[in-house]
Structure 1
Amino acid sequence: MIFSSIGRVAFSYSGFLTAGSNSFRRPGGIYDTHYFKALEVIASTSGHYAFASGSTTDLYGCLYDSFSQYSPFSNLIECNDDYAPGVNFRLEIHLLAYQSKVLVVTTYEPSETASFDLKAYGPGIITGEDIPYSQKYEID
C-alpha cells in the first residue's frame, strides 16, 4: 500500500483476532457478533492520517471518538471495509495532536478469526495502546 501523498509511516502494529477475543455487534453487521481489537491512537502532530490494514482475511475497521462495545454506533466517526487493496480497510481522518481516538479492527464476516497488520501514514508519530475490554470503556 502506498500513501506517499499522505506522509511517512507513523504507526505499525500486528495483532490477532481469536475465539478468545472480545466480541460485539459491529456497525453494518445485523445480528451476529464479531471479534474485535480496540486501540487507543494518539498523534504527535496534527494533520491528515490514513490507517490501513493488511490481512488475507476480510477486515473491517472503525474509528471512534470513544468506544463502548455495548453501544457500537455511539461516537462512531466512520467505518470502512475494502478501500485498501484486496480485502483490507483504509480509514482517513484529520487528527489533532494529542487527541485520543479509538481504532477498532474486526472482520467482515461474523465469528471469524484473523491475523493482521496495521499501518498509519501521516505527518507525525502515532502511539497505539491496546484497550482491554472486560467492561464498558470510554476515553474522556
Structure 2
Amino acid sequence: ASISGTYNFISDSEIDTVGYFYENSFDPSVPGENLILTDDDGNGNRQFLIEAFLEAERVYVLVVTTFDSSETGTFSVSASGPGAVDLNSFTPSTSQPITTTTTVAPVLSALSGGLSSAAGVFHRPDSHDEDAFYYQAIEVSVQTSGMYTLTSDSKLDTIGYFYHDSFDPSVPENNLITVDDDSGDISLQFGLEVYLQAGNKYILVVTTHETQETGDFSVLTNGPGPIELTSFTPSTIQPVLACKYNNNSCLMSDNY
C-alpha cells in the first residue's frame, strides 16, 4: 500500500472462497507462518472480506483458496482503503514437501470484564482526536499455534482491536493487526478470527462504538488449544488528551 491505514479485500466468485492474509512472505508448506488473519464468509454470498491495517511499503500476501477441496474456477479481488494497493499474482517457493495435518477438537475459553469511568481512555485509530473511548486491554497468549476466534458478548456496542507485541493507548496505530466491529454471532458484537503463534504475545483491546460508554462484557474464544486471557493496564509514552465539555466548549484534558 502507498499509505498506511485500514484496507478491505473482498472476493467475488461463483466458488465458495476463503482468504488468508500474511505479512512478509508465504510458504505453502508451512501455511501457519506469518499468517495474520483469515476470513471465509465475511462479505456474504460465500465470499471473504479481510479488513487489515497495512503499513506503507511493507509486503503482504493474500492467499485465495476454496472452502471445499479441489475446487476450480475464476475469481476477482477488489481492494479499498486510504491509498492505492498493488495486487500482483506470483508463485511462492516452498521449503519442504506439503503433508496433511490432523484436525483437533476446538477448545473454548472466556474472560469477563467491564468498562467504567475508572478505566483508561484512548482515541480509536479511526476516531477524531477529541473523542475519548473507555477500553480494557487484555494480554492474549497460547501454547498451541493455530486459528482462533475471539468474540464479545455485551449489551454495549463493542469493537475489538487486536495487536501484536504491545499496545500503547497514546499511539493506538502501532502494532495494530486488525479490528472488527459487528462480525460476531451476537448483534453489535465484534468477532475476530486470527492466527496465534505459540510463544508470541498479543493484545486484545475491547472498547465501544460510542464515546465514553460504560458496562460489562465477556470475551469468548474458540481454537485448537486454551487461550490465556489476562487484563492489564498498559503503559503510555504520553498523556491521552480528550474533550471535557464546559458550556459546550471543548477543553482538552487527561483527567476523566
- What's the TM-score once normalised by structure 2's chain length? 0.49
Which residue among 1, 16, 40 is the counterpart of 2:114? 16
| Alpha-carbon separation, structure 2, partners of 1:15 and 1:24 | 17
Q: How do residues 62-77 of structure 1 correspond to structure 2 at under 5 angstroms?
A: 62-65=161-164, 66-77=166-177
Structure 2 SS opposite 1:103: strand
Q: How do residues 55-66 of structure 1 correspond to structure 2 at under 5 angstroms?
A: 55-65=154-164, 66=166
4+ residue segments displaced more than 4 Å: none
Which residue among 173, 178, 184 is the counterpart of 1:78? 178
Structure 2 SS opposite 1:20: coil
| Alpha-carbon separation, structure 2, partners of 1:29 and 1:112 | 15
Which residue among 194, 199, 211 is the counterpart of 1:93? 194
Q: How do residues 9-48 of structure 1 correspond to structure 2 at under 5 angstroms?
A: 9=108, 11-31=109-129, 32-48=131-147
2:107–2:226 Cα contact (<8 Å) kept: no
| Alpha-carbon separation, structure 1, partners of 2:193 and 2:125 | 18
| Alpha-carbon separation, structure 1, partners of 2:168 and 2:196 | 21
Kindly report the root-mean-square deviation, in angstroms, between the aligned alpha carbons of the 2 structures.
1.4
Quick check: which has more Rg, 1 or 2?
A: 2
Per-residue CA distance 1:45-65 (angstroms, 9 max, x = gap): 000000000011100101001
User: Is 1:130 paired with 2:231?
Assistant: yes
Per-residue CA distance 1:55-114 (angstroms, 9 max, x = gap): 111001010012100000111001110001201001111111121100000001011112
| Alpha-carbon separation, structure 1, partners of 2:179 and 2:151 | 12
| Alpha-carbon separation, structure 2, partners of 1:104 and 1:36 | 6
- The Cα of 1:27 is off from its aligned counterpart by 2.1
Structure 1 SS opposite 2:110: strand
Partner of 2:3: none
Partner of 1:3: none
Gaps of 5+ in 1: 1-5
- The Cα of 1:8 is off from its aligned counterpart by 2.8
- Matched residue type, 2:229: G
- Matched residue type, 1:34: F
Partner of 1:121: 222
